[in-house]
Structure formats: C-alpha cells, structure tokens
Amino acid sequence: MVVVILAQIFFRYVIGDALAWSEELARFFMLWMTGLIAPSAYRWGGFVAIDMLPQALPARAAAILNLALLAVALTVLVVAVRLGWADVTGFGGRFATASLWVPAHLEFGWVEGPWLLFERTLVVDFIPEPTKIAKKYMMASLLVSMVLMTLVNVELILRSLIRLLDPATGVVAVPEPAVASAGAD
C-alpha cells in the first residue's frame, strides 16, 4: 500500500501525470490489511475496551460477565458474516472497480455431460484480454475478517468457559502475542 501511495506522489508531483488507479489499489490493500490483522488484534485484546466494571467485580462474576459479552459479540459477528457473504455474492459484488485492470484473467465454468464418475466437470479458461477487477474481491476482505474473528471469538469463549469451570487449569483468558525479540540475553 505504501509503495502504491509513494508511486502516486512521485507520478503526480515529480512527473506531473497522476496515476488513475493508485488510489483504488491502495484502498484495496488497506481493506485486506485491516481485514487480516483485525482477528489477531481481537485475540490479543488489542481493541479498545472499558474494563472498569470487570476489574471491580469478584473474579467469578467478572468471568461470567466476560462470557456474556463474548456471547453478544458472537451474535454480532455471525450477523456480520451473513452481511459479508451478501456483499460478496449479492448485487454490489457484480460490479467492477472503476480503474483497476488486470492484463489477463481466468474464467471458471461447468461443462455438463456424462463423464466417468461426474455429471459436471469444472473448466478453467485463460482469457488473454484485459478486464477490470470485480468489487467482490475487495468486499471479500470483510467476509474473511468476520469469519476469522468469529473463530477467534469461539476460542475466547472456550477459554473463558474452561477458566470459569476449572480455574486451576492455568488457561489464560487472552493469550500473549507471539513477539520476536532482538535483545541480547
């Protein structure tokens, strides 16, 4: 994304001829970067949270409250997955981007007929003509993000249930992020 934006700055201000596609490609990259990092941030507690009430409650009541909030979040995420699927497969996903072109593309289809074991066979055709990128690939970032966040939410619910039912197991509510260290030991 940064390379695309720097290229736009160079072409606009140094060469004097702005690129038509750079803003849309940078937006495409931004959506996918956000969609892929959000589940990790959710898993490690990286979102903004108001935690005064859970800290003021006894440990068992705080665990029950956390479990209830995770259940509400799961409901919201399931609705978001359905909305993401509707965006990708629905009316808006059929449109093409305004300025993003690829020089060639693949088309997928089915061929009917009595084959050895299958009634239909998948056919992939290489089309050497330029085509615009479909917006469904941009919208798919929401769907992928919500599916991954739903999986993280289920993991957090299971961790909370284990901690609530048997606090001696040593299962932590939010696992520590895997961070590489460059320091000398």
Mind listing the pLDDT tens digit for each residue in 128-153?
A: 887 788 888 888 899 999 999 999 99
Closest among 59, 136, 129, 55 to 95, alpha carbons compared: 136
Residue 73 pLDDT: 94
User: Which residue has better confidence, 75 or 133?
Assistant: 75
Say which residues have a Cβ less than 8 Å from residue 58's Cβ, sequence separation at least 6: none
Q: What is the mean pLDDT of residues 85-101?
A: 80
Total-model pTM: 0.74
Residue 74 pLDDT: 96
Lowest mean pLDDT among 12-21, 76-85, 104-113, 149-158: 104-113
Give the start-end residues of each E strand in 75-163: 96-102, 105-112, 120-127, 131-134
User: Which residue has better confidence, 20 or 68?
Assistant: 68
CA distance 42 to 65: 17
Q: What is the mean pLDDT of residues 147-163?
A: 92
Residues above pLDDT 90, as percent of the chain: 29
DSSP annotation of 100: E
Asked if residue 127 lies in contact with residue 107, where contact means CB atoms within 8 angstroms, the answer is yes
